[in-house]
Amino acid sequence: MARLTLETPADVRLLDSGISVGEALAAFNAAYPDAGGIATFLGKVRPDEDVRVLELTHYDPLTLPGMRELADKALTRWPLDGVLVWHRIGVMHPGEGIVLVAAAARHRRDAFHAVDFLMDYLKSAAWLWKREKRADGWHWIEPRAQDFADRNRWA
């Protein structure tokens, strides 16, 4: 089986098709054989709340560069071996992965913090716009107050 090759120490991607979680994490694990621990988070489209489909729009000149800067911030802030920051764009359905984040570190708490940090920023500071199609049509989603509060923990 051809193995997925990741960029180290930061593999940052915008993906317009499904995230293969098992393959991605197996590759990430293999890329950091010296790490004591790997923390990951997968965010998925929730099938509740009457959501039929979800669409994420990005802006090419800003979105991926912004995600790269964010990954670099995490690498600077904690002693990490590497990170993975993948975000879906386009149309997706309930149950599909939207975002996959991973951090490899010598100590588990650093890996946890980095993943938590990356998710808080992706939620409220990455150049992505989300809308959901419900029974009554499309609705744009804005970060909740909680999302800003989560992000401000890192200030």
Distances in whole angstroms, Cα of residue 20 to Cα of each of 6, 75, 88, 96, 112: 14, 24, 11, 10, 22
Residue 95: CB minimum distance to other proteins, A: 16
For the four alpha carbons of 26, 29, 30 and 31, in that order, the dihedral sign comes to positive
Candidate residues 13, 73, 108, 131; the one interacting with a second copy per rule CB under 8 A: 108
Q: Which is nearer to other proteins, 112 or 127 (CB)?
A: 127
Cβ atoms within 10 Å of 94's Cβ, excluding its own: 14
By CB under 8 A, residue 118 contacts a second copy: no
Please state the length of the chain.
155
H/E stretch holding 114 reads helix 108-125
* Contact present, 21 and 100 (Cβ < 8 Å): yes
- The piece of 2-10, 24-32, 71-79, 117-125 that touches other proteins (CB under 8 A) is 117-125
- The piece of 4-12, 24-32, 53-61, 73-81 that touches other proteins (CB under 8 A) is 53-61
By CB under 8 A, residue 43 contacts a second copy: yes
CA atoms within 13 A on the CB side of 2: 3
Residue 75: CB minimum distance to other proteins, A: 20
- 97 CB contacts (<8 Å, ≥6 apart)? 18, 19, 21, 42, 43, 44, 88
CA distance 132 to 45: 10
Q: Which is nearer to a second copy, 60 or 153 (CB)?
A: 153
Q: Which is nearer to a second copy, 8 or 40 (CB)?
A: 40
Residues that bind a second copy (CB under 8 A): 21-23, 25-26, 29, 33-44, 46-48, 94-95, 97, 106, 108-109, 111-112, 115-116, 119, 150
Q: Which residues bind other proteins (CB under 8 A)?
A: 43, 56-57, 59, 61-62, 87, 98-99, 119, 122-131, 140-143
